[in-house]
């Protein structure tokens, strides 16, 4: 259990939250929500012991292991991927390494025997001989190819290194696991796998996320950082949104009722104060007004930024032409034979399965790969703006203030102009003086969008632009991009975002691209496959034999036949388990929905409620067993490749 006692904290004279007292319980999964800069990540750092609150204290159960992961991390590039993940159980991993070294010495001394026994005890006590398959299962679930597990970490991109970092935390299995925007570097298949993993996590989970679907599928409680406090709500994000809406509506009605009462009393006082017959009643109402506790209007920290992307010059009607673009990393071909022709005003979404090269294409168009320039031709007068996934890292490295960073791109403008632009991106007052190294992920994203607004581009390249933004910012960005009169090319895993804006879909395939003129919903209806739907993509992922496949030429006909039959059997078992998992999850969710209804407790007696609670626990136990079976089957399947 974690107890927050009268917790208060502020930053740059701004109070984030004050006098917060809460208890966080084991086996619950808390989603922390609120506006960017409201103190969500700060709360996680305090619980992890990385920061001290201004006032109050945090009490954590003795011996509880607490672990937090954020977007910043440092790993050894020379260590293998599997070893990096296994280091989550550091003591066990090192004991296994030491044991291997001692066995290789072939020394039979008494001292060596004692050491061997000591290390074997450590491994057995922590189920260490299952550590490697567990790490393999987690890495594979997060989309890290099994064939790469024994290779050094340095072969992976930054996003995939983060997946290994996440895998290390999941292997660690701390009593308190804290995750800050865990879905930012994951594809839809990996997000679905992580949902299942966390939904059955035995410890206490606390996570910050802007992904509504992820929060709905994982959380059992929501901590809302707003109104200068932290409020706990039962249920998932949808239940919270409904409860919060009712709370705000109730507050508004209370204030309106009080204002009417004050107005009526004041009117009576003003009318009858001078009359002797009514003086006593007037004085009584004056005393009532003096004693009345005024309900202050609820002031939320949730503020919508004001995005607006103007086009300075329209530029050429023929915006972009790509002819036969190829791109490879070493011997691995990523893009092959890509042809594109994009005209002014088109809004193009680039989609495709994980690893298909979506971000690589955006980077190539943004001229990050000089060797690709001969295949790409931008139209005359086209001035494009580029939002990169790692723009935050680049901005942080400057170590200037937000104001100084933006001002460098318009040095001829007065400071008031830059401050006005920053204000629209919610950098008000002292916030504009914050160092870029101290900015949150959402603040860095908004700062980069301020730069794009300053540039007035007639075309924009956006690579996962909604990562790090809170829900209010995503809503405002969607509206602004709909109003944008320039050309838009973007990659995103957010279905609602794509479907709301884009009128052309480019699907990246192994032999080029497929061009579809229409919305994403129309594309899904045409293709009968939804790349951004977790369940469909997970099923597609499991049906693919291409990943980690051993060449059939190396096996005899009979061996190949047996191997394929075994793999088919495992895949059928996986499909059956997944169906059962989803059925159990749905049953649990229905019971939890019942518990959220206040009428449920009046319509049912204690015996009925206890029976339903027992039924829920039985479903959870069965779900835990199914997940274990699912992980073991995944492990068998990975070894069968």
C-alpha angle with apex 474: 471 to 476, nearest 5 degrees? 110
Do both 636 and 584 map to the same domain? Answer: yes
Do both 380 and 460 map to the same domain? Answer: yes
Do both 617 and 483 map to the same domain? Answer: no
pLDDT of 392 > 70? The answer is yes
How far is residue 82's CA from residue 88's CA, in Å, rounded to a whole number?
Answer: 10
3 state SS of 374: helix
Which tops the pLDDT comparison, 274 or 183? 183
How far is residue 153's CA from residue 172's CA, in Å, rounded to a whole number?
Answer: 18
Label residue 130 by pLDDT band (50, 70, 90): confident
- Give the model's pLDDT for residue 589: 77
Report the greatest alpha carbon distance in the chain.
112
Residues 6+ apart with CB under 8 A from 586: none
Cβ atoms of residues 41 and 439 within 8 Å: no
- Give the model's pLDDT for residue 552: 37
> What's the Cα-to-Cα distance from 98 to each of 191, 281, 332, rounded to whole Å?
35, 88, 36
Question: Which strand (E) or helix (H) includes residue 219?
Answer: none
Which tops the pLDDT comparison, 548 or 592? 592
Which tops the pLDDT comparison, 76 or 577? 76
Q: Measure CA 79 to chain center.
A: 27
Last residue of a domain, one of 489, 504, 534: 534
> Residues in the chain, how many?
641
Residue at 189 is within a domain: no
- Give the model's pLDDT for residue 251: 73
Do both 501 and 610 map to the same domain? Answer: no
How far is residue 14's CA from residue 434's CA, in Å, rounded to a whole number?
Answer: 13
Q: Are strands 2-11 and 14-24 parallel, antiparallel or unpaired?
A: antiparallel
Domain count, the chain: 2
Which residue, 30, 505, 532, is CA-closest to 240?
30
Residue at 85 is within a domain: no
Do both 591 and 529 map to the same domain? Answer: no
Residue at 430 is within a domain: yes
Q: Which of 35-39, 49-53, 467-471, 559-563 is predicted most confidently?
A: 49-53
3 state SS of 94: helix
Helices H / strands E in the chain, number of each? 22, 18
Residues 6+ apart with CB under 8 A from 145: 547, 548
How far is residue 385's CA from residue 453's CA, in Å, rounded to a whole number?
Answer: 9
- Give the model's pLDDT for residue 422: 94
Do both 359 and 465 map to the same domain? Answer: yes
Residue at 266 is within a domain: no
Question: 224: which 2 tokens?
Answer: 């809302």
Do both 410 and 452 map to the same domain? Answer: yes
Last residue of a domain, one of 507, 534, 561: 534
- Give the model's pLDDT for residue 548: 39
pLDDT of 29 > 60? The answer is yes
φ and ψ at 615, to 5 degrees? -65, -40
pLDDT tens digits for range 156-203: 877 788 899 999 999 999 999 999 989 877 876 788 789 889 988 989
For position 583, which CATH number holds?
1.10.287.380
> What's the Cα-to-Cα distance from 480 to each of 170, 306, 319, 391, 453, rounded to whole Å?
38, 8, 21, 20, 11
Poorest-confidence range of 42-46, 49-53, 266-270, 333-337?
266-270
- Give the model's pLDDT for residue 308: 95
pLDDT tens digits for range 208-262: 988 888 898 899 999 999 888 999 999 999 899 899 888 888 777 777 777 777 7
Which tops the pLDDT comparison, 620 or 382? 382
3 state SS of 366: coil
Cβ atoms of residues 531 and 188 within 8 Å: yes
- Give the model's pLDDT for residue 210: 81
For the chain, the C-alpha Rg in angstroms (whole number) is 29
Give me the mean pLDDT over the 86-91 stretch. Answer: 91
Poorest-confidence range of 58-62, 271-275, 388-392, 455-459?
271-275
Domain that holds residue 351: 318-534
Residue at 547 is within a domain: no
Do both 402 and 502 map to the same domain? Answer: yes
- Give the model's pLDDT for residue 551: 38
- Give the model's pLDDT for residue 277: 58
Do both 569 and 525 map to the same domain? Answer: no
- Give the model's pLDDT for residue 272: 64
Label residue 354 by pLDDT band (50, 70, 90): low
Instruction: Give the 3-state secondary structure percentages of the chain, helix then strand then coil, rounded to 5.
Output: 50, 20, 30
Which tops the pLDDT comparison, 623 or 499? 499
- Give the model's pLDDT for residue 157: 75
Do both 381 and 470 map to the same domain? Answer: yes
pLDDT of 297 > 70? The answer is no
User: What stretches of 104-211 adopt beta strand conformation (E)?
Assistant: 176-180, 204-208
Q: What DSSP designation does 552 have? A: G
How far is residue 625's CA from residue 112's CA, in Å, rounded to a whole number?
Answer: 40
pLDDT tens digits for range 544-563: 434 434 333 444 445 555 66
C-alpha angle with apex 349: 348 to 354, nearest 5 degrees? 150
Do both 489 and 636 map to the same domain? Answer: no
C-alpha angle with apex 15: 13 to 20, nearest 5 degrees? 150
pLDDT of 89 > 70? The answer is yes
- Give the model's pLDDT for residue 635: 61
Give me the mean pLDDT over the 411-422 stretch. Answer: 93
- Give the model's pLDDT for residue 298: 60
pLDDT of 513 > 50? The answer is yes
Residue at 618 is within a domain: yes
Residue 424 C-beta-side C-alpha neighbours within 13 Å = 18
- Cα dihedral 202→97→138→207 (10° resolution): 50
pLDDT of 609 > 80? The answer is no
Residue 247 burial (CB count, 10 A)? 15
Last residue of a domain, one of 505, 534, 563: 534
How far is residue 172's CA from residue 90's CA, in Å, rounded to a whole number?
Answer: 8
Which tops the pLDDT comparison, 47 or 278? 47
- Give the model's pLDDT for residue 487: 96
pLDDT tens digits for range 282-291: 677 777 777 7
Cβ atoms of residues 9 and 16 within 8 Å: yes
For position 332, which CATH number holds?
3.40.50.300
Which residue, 129, 97, 128, 102, is CA-closest to 115?
102
- Give the model's pLDDT for residue 586: 79
How far is residue 514's CA from residue 508's CA, in Å, rounded to a whole number?
Answer: 7
Residues 6+ apart with CB under 8 A from 327: 333, 334, 335, 357, 360, 361, 364, 369, 372
pLDDT of 12 > 90? The answer is no
Residue at 284 is within a domain: no
Give me the mean pLDDT over the 375-388 stretch. Answer: 94
pLDDT tens digits for range 50-69: 999 999 999 998 889 999 99
3 state SS of 528: coil
- Give the model's pLDDT for residue 92: 87
- Give the model's pLDDT for residue 107: 60
CA dihedral sign, ordered 435, 478, 191, 568: negative
Whole-number mean pLDDT of the chain?
83
Residues 6+ apart with CB under 8 A from 326: 333, 335, 336, 337, 338, 375
Residue at 298 is within a domain: no
Do both 509 and 426 map to the same domain? Answer: yes
Cβ atoms of residues 94 and 128 within 8 Å: no
Which tops the pLDDT comparison, 419 or 252? 419
How far is residue 173's CA from residue 591's CA, in Å, rounded to a whole number?
Answer: 28
């Amino acid at each position: 259990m974690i107890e927050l006692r009268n917790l208060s904290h502020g930053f740059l004279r701004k109070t984030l939250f004050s006098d917060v007292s809460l208890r966080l319980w084991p086996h619950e999964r808390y989603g922390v929500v609120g506006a960017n800069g409201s103190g969500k990540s700060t709360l996680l750092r305090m619980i992890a012991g990385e920061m001290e609150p201004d006032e109050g204290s945090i009490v954590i159960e003795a011996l509880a292991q607490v672990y937090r992961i954020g977007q910043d991390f440092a790993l050894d590039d020379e260590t293998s991927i599997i070893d990096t993940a296994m280091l989550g159980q550091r003591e066990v991993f090192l004991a296994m390494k030491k044991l291997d070294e001692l066995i290789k010495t072939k020394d039979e001394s008494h001292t060596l025997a004692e050491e061997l026994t000591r290390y074997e005890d450590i491994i057995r006590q922590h189920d260490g001989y299952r550590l490697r398959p567990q790490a393999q299962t987690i890495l594979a679930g997060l989309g890290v190819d099994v064939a790469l597990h024994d290779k050094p970490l340095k072969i992976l991109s930054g996003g995939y290194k983060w997946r290994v970092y996440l895998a290390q935390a999941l292997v660690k299995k701390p009593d308190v696991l804290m995750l800050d925007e865990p879905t930012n570097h994951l594809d839809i298949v990996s997000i679905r796998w992580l949902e299942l993993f966390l939904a059955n996590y035995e410890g206490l989970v606390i996570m910050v996320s802007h992904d509504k679907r992820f929060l709905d599928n994982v959380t059992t409680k929501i901590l809302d950082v707003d109104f200068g406090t932290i409020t706990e709500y039962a249920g998932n994000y949808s239940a919270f949104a409904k409860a919060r809406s009712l709370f705000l509506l109730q507050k508004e009605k209370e204030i309106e009722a009080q204002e009417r009462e004050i107005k009526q009393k004041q009117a009576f006082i003003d009318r009858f104060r001078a009359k002797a017959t009514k003086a006593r009643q007037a004085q009584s109402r004056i005393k009532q007004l003096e004693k009345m506790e005024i309900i202050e209007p609820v002031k939320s920290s949730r503020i919508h930024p004001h995005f607006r992307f103007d086009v300075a010059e329209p530029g050429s009607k023929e915006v972009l032409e790509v002819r036969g673009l190829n791109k490879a990393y070493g011997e691995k071909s990523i893009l092959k034979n890509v042809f594109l022709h994009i005209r002014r005003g088109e809004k193009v979404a680039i989609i495709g399965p994980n690893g298909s090269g979506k971000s690589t294409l955006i980077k190539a168009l943004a001229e990050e790969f000089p060797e690709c320039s001969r295949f790409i031709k931008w139209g005359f007068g086209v001035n494009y703006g580029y939002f990169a996934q790692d723009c935050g890292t680049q901005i942080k490295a400057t170590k200037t203030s937000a104001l100084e960073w933006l001002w460098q791109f318009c040095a001829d403008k007065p400071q008031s102009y830059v401050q006005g632009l920053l204000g629209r991106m919610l950098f008000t007052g002292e916030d504009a003086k914050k160092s870029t190294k101290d900015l949150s992920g959402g603040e860095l994203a908004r700062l980069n969008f301020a730069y794009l607004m300053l540039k007035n581009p007639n075309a924009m390249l956006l690579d996962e632009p909604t990562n790090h933004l809170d829900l209010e910012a995503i809503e405002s960005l969607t509206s602004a991009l709909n109003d944008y009169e320039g050309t838009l090319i973007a990659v995103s895993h957010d279905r609602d975002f794509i479907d709301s804006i884009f009128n052309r879909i480019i699907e990246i395939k192994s032999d080029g691209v497929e061009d579809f003129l229409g919305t994403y919903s129309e594309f899904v209806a045409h293709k009968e496959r939804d790349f951004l739907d977790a369940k469909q993509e997970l099923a597609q992922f499991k049906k693919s034999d291409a990943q980690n496949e051993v060449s059939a030429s190396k096996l005899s006909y009979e061996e190949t036949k047996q191997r394929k039959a075994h793999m088919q059997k495992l895949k059928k078992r996986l499909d059956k388990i997944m169906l059962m998992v989803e059925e159990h999850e749905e049953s649990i969710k229905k019971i939890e929905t019942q518990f959220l209804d206040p009428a449920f407790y009046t319509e049912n007696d204690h015996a009925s409620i206890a029976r339903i609670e027992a039924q829920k626990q039985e479903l959870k136990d069965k779900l835990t067993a199914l997940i274990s079976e699912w992980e073991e089957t995944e492990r068998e399947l990975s070894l069968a490749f």
